[in-house]
Amino acid sequence: MKAIRAIDKNIPVIIQANAGTPQFVEGKTVFRESPEMMASFVPELIKAGANIIGGCCGTTPEHIREMARVMGG
């Protein structure tokens, strides 16, 4: 993301991360990153220039709520 910002400071940057690395457990794909762990990355993502931060695979409403809380809203 920092490389994108070095080239263009105005282009929108969207981060949509998984809730951790997927693991195959008892025949199911599991994402073990907690909402608090995922939200802990938010300040650095904002500092690096992210405009939109969301979630992808394994992300639950609790993950999004915690990320929003960290963002201040």
Least Cα distance to 49 among 21, 9, 20 occurs for: 9
Q: What is the pLDDT of residues 5-58, one digit of tens each?
A: 888 888 899 999 999 999 999 999 999 999 999 999 999 999 988 999 999 999
The pLDDT of residue 8 is 87
Q: What is the pTM of this model?
A: 0.84
The total domain count for the chain is: 1
Q: What is the model's pLDDT at position 1? A: 74
Domain residues for the domain of 34 are 2-71
Q: How far apart, in whole angstroms, are the C-alpha atoms of residue 6 and residue 12?
A: 13
Res 73: pLDDT:
72
Q: What is the pLDDT of residue 2?
A: 77
